[in-house]
Amino acid sequence: MDKARDPEDPTPRIARRLKEEREARGWSLSELAARSGVSKAMVSKIERGEASPTATILGRLSGALQLTLATLLTRAEGDAGRLVRARDQARWRDPETRYVRRQVFARPTSPIELVEVELPAGAAVSYPAAAYAFIRQVVWVTRGRLVIEEGRARHQLDTGDCLEFGPPVDTTFRNESRAACGYLVALARR
CA-wise closest residue to 37 among 56, 16, 12: 56
- Spatial neighbors of 2 by CB under 8 A, at least 6 apart, are none
Whether residues 86 and 175 fall in one domain: yes
| Domain co-membership, 139 together with 60 | no
d(CA 93, CA 65): 21
Q: In the 3-class helix/strand/coil scheme, how is 98-141 assigned residue by residue?
A: CCEEEEEECCCCCCEEEEEEEECCCCEEEECHHHHCCEEEEEEE
**41 with 108, same domain?**
no
Span 30-55, pLDDT tens digits: 999 999 999 999 999 999 988 888 88
Would residue 4 count as lying in a domain? no
Shared domain for 110 and 161, answered yes or no, is yes
Phi and psi at 135, nearest 5°, equal -135, 160
Residues 120 and 179 reside in one and the same domain = yes
Whether 107 and 170 share a structural domain: yes
Residues 124 and 160 occupy one common structural domain: yes
Last residue of one domain, picked from the residues 74, 99, 123: 74
Strand order in the sheet with 112-119: 91-93, 100-105, 112-119, 181-189, 135-143, 162-164
Within 8 A by CB and 6+ apart from 124, the residues are: 97, 172, 173, 174, 175
| Domain of residue 56, residue span | 11-74
**Counted domains in the chain:** 2
Judged by average pLDDT, the poorest of 18-22, 42-46, 71-75 is 71-75
Same structural domain for residues 58 and 91?
no
In the prediction, which pLDDT does 75 show?
58
CATH assignment of the domain containing 58: 1.10.260.40
d(CA 147, CA 15): 31
Is 185 among the domain residues? yes
Tell whether 3 is covered by a domain: no
**Span of 39-48, 53-62, 93-102, 112-121 with lowest mean pLDDT:** 53-62
- Between the alpha carbon of residue 155 and those of residues 77, 81, 99, 133, 146, the distances in Å are 33, 35, 20, 20, 8
For residues 96 and 181, state if they share a domain. yes
In this structure, is residue 6 part of a structural domain?
Answer: no
* Beta carbons of 189 and 135 less than 8 angstroms apart: yes
Q: How far is CA 97 from CA 32, 34, 43, 142, 172, in A?
A: 24, 25, 20, 20, 13
Mean pLDDT of the chain: 87
What integer pLDDT is reported at residue 77 of this predicted model?
54
